[in-house]
Amino acid sequence: MEYVLSLAPLFIKMAIVVGILLLLPLPLTWLERKIAAHIQQRPGPMRVGWHGLLQPLADAIKLLTKEDHIPAQADRMLFAIAPVVALVPPFLVFVAIPFGEPVQIFGTTVTLSLADLNVGLLFILAASGIGVFGTILAGWASNSKYAVLGSLRSIAQMISYEIPMGFSVIGVVMLANSMQLSQIVAAQEGLWNIVVQPIGFFVFFVAGLAEAQRIPFDLPEAEGDLGAGYHTEYSGIRFSLFMLAEYLVLVFLAFLNVLLFFGGWLGGPAFLPPFLWLFIKVGFFIWVFMWLRFTFPRYRYDQLMTIGWKVLLPLSLLNILVSGFLML
Amino acid sequence: MARTGVKQSSWIGRVFFADLLAGLRLTLGYMMSKTVTHHYPDHEKWVPYQRHRGHHFMNTNEAGEVNCVACGLCSKICPCNCITVIPFENDQGDRRPKVFDIDLARCLYCGLCEDACPADAIKLGQEYEVSTTNRATLKVHLEDLIAAPRKSEDGGDIKPAKLDSAGSQHSILRPESDAGRDWWSRVRRD
């Protein structure tokens, strides 16, 4: 019994995190459409609910009631599991993300994370790397030219950008002497990493955009030239699982940017609880991602590879070198 | 806000992505600017300029008689043959239309009938909400044309309006006041 009771907080936290993550894409789609609209001097969705706030719900109902279509020659099993494979890693990543320092609730200390792993950063990078399998399987199983092209692009892109992304955080790890995310945040007390690691942040930010497959690096799903890329053949609920995964990757990248380079929950005004301050920063980064999306055109495929291998990779190596010298 | 001049040759600008930043600055400005979309069926309605070619109407003289002399020029020039004119001689011995029908389903609102008319009779006005679910109502007769509203004086404004879903007809908007808003001033032109 005592064993079960000791597990209870964990399960409660898990339920909260999973619930929030499942619901989060609803406001995010609304936000994305609103930001797109206002950049283009339109009001965006206005008619369903106050300023279109219920529009995502209407969209969700539409997606759920659509025909679940599987192409004739598709590999049915892979086709069915691909969206799930794409969806699991973003959830997995949130296991290791801390949302704040431990707090006192009803006299017991509750840590604001599911598991503050001491190899947290490594785990996050590894888990997010699995996400590409969903894309590969989806493209392969669809038996469609566009989907295969999209997934081929996505494999190349993921491999190219995972390397600079991994290198760019090494500077942060060196500064904190730890891969535990709470330690990394604690090491930024007084001075955020963005000040000492601007190049690292730049590389991480750009590689993160590419990992999330967002404009200007959204080649795997380039609407204009590939139909919709790897999820061309998906419809209804399976398609919405891909969209869900995409938004969750966006959120987790915003979290990582804040935790690694912008001091996590540190440095907020005194009246704000630290985790709210963290969420404000994360919200800011999500807004920046969307702002970028509706500003920039898409890079050409060779430009994408050039940026990855000839710019970001040397920059991240240089960053490791320079921060190593400075720390000595 | 003027576009920030980014010189292609300036390597400092290229290293710090001055062109990308200029683009971001521009879109940020747009994000903060007001929207120019008309909230058409819900809150406001655009009254077109007087030159707009919308609904048809028939002018009458001081005595209340139609100006039309049933010469049939409009039906001849009409590129889609949507005007039917049948003349008759009234009590004063004037030539007047017995039938003057316009098939709005075929009309392309080119305004050639207006140009061809020698008697200043058939005109196009500023009403544009003529959609219906019944094709038969798209055939307008002489009485409808005489009863139709004339050209409105206040063209070019956006008027506050409401969606009237209670009436038998679909979504008729009725402007509530004369105060329009100058929506052109909101448009960013850079």
Query: Which of B186, B141, B158, B132 is closest to B42 using CA atoms?
Result: B158
Q: How far is Cα A258 from Cα A273, in angstroms, rounded to an integer?
A: 16
Residue ranges of B 5-64 with Cβ closer than 8 A to chain A? 20, 23-24, 26-28, 30-31, 33-37, 39, 42
Whether chain B has a CB inside 8 Å of the CB on A62: the answer is no
Do the domain assignments include residue B35?
no
What pLDDT does residue B168 have?
Answer: 41
Domain count, chain B: 1
Which residue range is the domain that position B168 belongs to? 44-184
Q: Between chains, do A43 and B23 touch, taking CB under 8 Å as contact?
A: no
Residue type, B13: G
Structure tokens at A311: 């710019």
Q: Say which amino acid occupies B144.
A: D
Is B80 marked as a binding-site residue?
no
Q: Is residue B6 part of a domain?
A: no
- pLDDT score at B173: 55
- B71 labelled as ligand-binding? yes
User: Which amino acid, A61?
Assistant: I
Q: What does the pLDDT look like over B134-180, one tens digit per residue?
A: 888 899 999 989 998 888 877 777 777 777 665 544 444 555 555 66
Half-sphere exposure (Cβ direction) of B44: Cα atoms closer than 13 Å: 18
With contacts defined as CB-CB under 8 Å, which chain B residues touch A37? 35
Coil, strand or helix: which one is B123? strand
Annotated ligand binding at B68? The verdict is: yes
Residue B173 to chain A, least CA–CA distance (Å): 17
Q: What are phi and psi of B58, to 5 degrees?
A: -115, 125
Dmax over CA atoms of chain B, in Å, equals: 89
For B22, nearest residue in chain A (alpha carbons): A295
Q: What pLDDT is stored for residue B169 in this prediction?
A: 43
Tell me: the pLDDT tens digits for A208-233? 888 888 878 877 666 667 777 788 88
Domain assignment present for residue B164? The answer is yes
Query: Does B14 fall in a domain?
Result: no
Interface touch A41/B36, C-beta < 8 Å: yes
Q: Which helix (H) or strand (E) holds A129?
A: helix A120-141
Question: B159 lies in a domain?
Answer: yes
Task: Collect all residues with Cβ–Cβ distance below 8 Å to B86 and sequence separation of at least 6.
Answer: B70, B97, B98, B99
Closest CA to A165 of A324, A312, A314: A312
B-chain CB neighbours of A41 within 8 Å are 30, 33-37, 187-188
- pLDDT for B170: 41
Q: In which band, very low, low, confident or very high, does the pLDDT at B80 lie, cut at 50, 70 and 90? A: very high
Cβ-based contacts of B33 with chain A (< 8 Å): 41
In a domain, B117, yes or no: yes
Domain of B55, CATH number, reads 3.30.70.3270
pTM higher than 0.90 for the full model? no
Q: Is residue B190 part of a domain?
A: no
pLDDT digits (tens, 9 = 90+) for B15-57: 777 888 888 999 998 888 888 888 877 777 888 888 999 999 9
Cβ contact A37–B35 (<8 Å): yes
User: Which value does ipTM take for this structure?
Assistant: 0.79
Whole-angstrom Cα distance, residue A87 to residue A231?
Answer: 13
Question: A216: cis peptide before it, omega within 30°?
Answer: yes
Average pLDDT by consecutive 10-residue portion of chain A (328 residues)? 79 90 90 91 86 89 88 87 90 88 76 82 88 86 85 84 90 89 87 88 90 79 71 85 89 92 84 87 93 87 86 91 86
Phi then psi dihedrals of residue B139, to 5 deg: -90, 110
**Mean pLDDT computed over B127-138:** 85
What's residue A263's pLDDT? 85
B117 is in an annotated binding site: yes
Token readout for B168 is: 């038998």
**What per-residue confidence (pLDDT) applies to A215?**
76
